[in-house]
Amino acid sequence: MRKWSLILAFVFLTSLLFSQEKFSGGVYVSPQISWFKPDNKQVQKEKGRMSFGFGLTSDIALTNAFSLNLGLGFNNAGGSLKYLDSIPKIETVDSTYTNIKANTVLKYKLQYIELPISIKGKTKEIGYISYFLKFGISPLIRYKARADVTVDSNDDLKNEVRAVSFAYHIGGGITYSLKGDTKLLIEAVFKNGLSDIEKIENYKNKDYKNILNILEIRAGIVF
């Protein structure tokens, strides 16, 4: 319900803005791959996760070449981590696992609501195509967090995954004019985590960070 409330609020606000010449926006879908990057030797990255996301995007023109790009995205992310040391406790919504043996692999299945903000630079149309680059910050709000603590257990891990995390993103792509103000959007966006996404502690190393990286290929329509 929270997800759809945010989407409806975003659509309402941007629809008001679109009545002005300086604003444009649209929708996209995004095949994506995500993976973890631990910063210590006691935790190892295993497999990544391939999934799909979708979202809304809008541009507020600052000059002819630059705009403020705002969005609302829904990401399915995750991946697998191997904990080389034992874990004293993992708290799920329904139960608590204790004394988890070393070399346990947790397969995370995460869903985030993203509120990205970036500065976007674009070229004039060359033929029907305009090229752009952007850079910014992506706050990620946890919507769902599940993991297989045991084989296919699909545990609700909200207690062990942080409610909010942050990443920076860089992206680039093209818009292709179709008719009038309607354009086809194709872009690639890479997000590199800035903050720890989980709170699980092992016995020997309680001060480490697991960040989440996401690579998206977006296709959509802007107007």
pLDDT tens digits for 10-22?
A: 554 554 444 445 7
Average pLDDT over residues 119-131: 94
pLDDT value of position 19: 46
pLDDT value of position 12: 46
Cα 125 to its chain centre, rounded Å, is 29
More confident site: 180 or 192: 192
Is 174 within 8 Å of 201 (Cβ atoms)? no
The dihedral built from the CA positions of residue 164, 169, 174 and 175, taken in this order, carries a sign that is positive
* Torsion angle of the four alpha carbons 195, 200, 204, 208, in this order, in degrees rounded to the nearest 10: 0
Is 140 within 8 Å of 167 (Cβ atoms)? yes
pLDDT tens digits for 70-110?
A: 999 999 999 999 988 888 888 899 888 888 888 999 999 99
